[in-house]
C-alpha cells in the first residue's frame, strides 16, 4: 500500500507535469487551443485559482509492532494477502491551486471574465 503523503505529493506533481506537457505539445503542434488561459492583466489572476480535489479510501492499520499508519487502500487479491487489523475510511479534501496555464494578451480588456 502507498503512504498517504507520498500519494498526495506524487498526484500533485503528476497533474502539474501533465498540464505543462500538454501545453508544450499544443504549442509545438501549432494549435490555437489555449489550455487554462490566463490573462496577462493585473488583478485577474485571482479569478483563475482552481482546486485539486481528492476523494480516496484510506486504511488505518495496526501491525504486529503496534504502530499505526495511514495508507491509501489499494485492492490486494490473492491467497497470500495478510490480514492485519485495519479500518477503512473515506477522506475527501481540496487544495487551492493555480494550475499551469498559458498567458493571453488583452483577451478580456478591462472587464473580468464570467
> DSSP states of 41-102 as a string?
STT-GGGG-EEEEEEEEEEEEE-TT--EEEEE-----STT----EEEEEEEEEEEEE----E
Grid look-up 482552481 returns 50
- Residue 50 has a pLDDT of 82
**Residue of 50 and 22 predicted with greater confidence:** 22
Residue 113 banded pLDDT, cuts 50, 70, 90:
very low
Query: Are residues 72 and 1 in contact, defined by beta-carbon separation less than 8 angstroms?
Result: yes
On the question of pLDDT at 114 being above 50, the answer is no
Q: Within 13 Å, how many C-alpha atoms sit on residue 39's CB side?
A: 16
pLDDT for 12-48, tens place per residue? 999 999 999 999 999 899 988 888 887 777 666 666 6
On the question of pLDDT at 67 being above 70, the answer is no
Average confidence (pLDDT) over 50-63: 79
On the question of pLDDT at 70 being above 50, the answer is yes
Classified as helix, coil or strand, 9 is helix
On the question of pLDDT at 53 being above 70, the answer is yes
Amino acid at each position: 500500500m502507498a503512504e498517504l503523503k507520498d500519494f498526495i505529493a506524487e498526484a500533485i506533481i503528476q497533474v502539474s507535469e501533465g498540464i505543462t506537457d500538454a501545453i508544450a505539445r499544443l504549442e509545438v503542434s501549432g494549435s490555437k487551443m489555449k489550455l487554462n488561459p490566463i490573462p496577462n492583466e493585473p488583478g485577474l489572476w485571482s479569478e483563475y485559482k482552481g482546486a485539486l480535489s481528492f476523494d480516496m479510501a484510506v486504511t488505518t492499520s495496526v501491525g504486529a509492532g503496534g504502530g499505526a499508519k495511514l495508507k491509501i487502500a489499494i485492492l490486494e487479491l490473492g491467497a497470500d494477502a495478510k490480514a492485519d487489523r485495519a479500518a477503512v475510511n473515506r477522506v475527501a479534501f481540496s487544495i487551492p491551486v493555480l494550475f499551469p496555464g498559458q498567458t493571453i494578451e488583452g483577451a478580456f480588456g478591462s472587464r473580468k471574465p464570467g
